[in-house]
Structure 1
Amino acid sequence: VLDPDLALFPTGTEQDVTITTQTFARLDLPVKRVFITENEINFLAFPPVPRSMVIFGAGYGFEMLSEAGWLQDRSIYYWGDIDTHGFAILDQLRGHFPAAASFLMDRETLLAHLPYWGLEPQPERRDLHRLNSVEHDLYDDLRQNRLSDRLRLEQERIGFDWIKRALTKL
């Protein structure tokens, strides 16, 4: 939970907890935004955001989240690597949560972090049908190697100030 006023426990300390799928499904927390990140460092360092929580994702596995019906009434933001697998995971998440939005998975973020570009070991090549047009254009550029060969920007390479600035726009 990213909002200290909504802490799960009255300790006043960090609220990093691991719970079962069944417990998570019954939480129904008073948050309006849920961020899902695929990197543990980003999960642990995510800045405070009022009425929000962050979930450390599990790659391609969203079955546990789909059991939490209360998430359907929240704004969900997925933050993955800017690479073909990051977009494939976003596409899969939308199979469970069609209104999920991407967060910091855009061309502006990618181009602003050029010094941190890396190589994606085994890019995804299949068509993805749940991306919006802007996401799909970037995904096509990545899978067709139009910007660079097997381009990847890992989410942990994105500057903390860039993250905080993006959060103020939500």
Structure 2
Amino acid sequence: MRYRPLSPSALSAAAVLLFVGLGASNSSAQESAPVEPEQTFTGRVADVTDGDTFDVERPIGDTVTVQLWGVDAPEFTQPYGDDATRKARKYVGDANVRVEVKEIDTDGRAFACVQRQGVSLARLLVNRGVVWHADYTSGATKLARLERQARNVKRGLWTQESPVPPWTWRSRRSDSSGER
């Protein structure tokens, strides 16, 4: 059997199909790259959902939702919730950050330390009095000290007489919704 050479237009079409096919399979592999504990990456904050939750675009083209490790921000519907979101946007909105994944929870959320220009966002937000520190982390001692300092000078949410921690707020909201 004799093979005839492909015409230049058929050869060009085959090259385009091959290129597009390889590019698509490569890009989908990148988009589905998992985030793992102890993984560190840099990216741009594409969105600030609330005071402790961010969407970070990685250089490979995907977006990772990151929950800030070591803190708990007021819910948007509770006092200082919108302030926490505004302050987080001010500090990291559209900024390049370094993300160090600490844990992936059972819902697949990435809990991570986030730094902008070498400054810990968790420490900054605790120091400004817009989030609570969380006792479960290895850095809880430093964050607890910063929280005490913010409380002592009545900074941010600590200007309230009895601020309600977000975990208590969520618990009360779920209890009241369950009784209906």
TM-score normalised by structure 2 residue count: 0.27
TM-score normalised by structure 1 residue count: 0.29
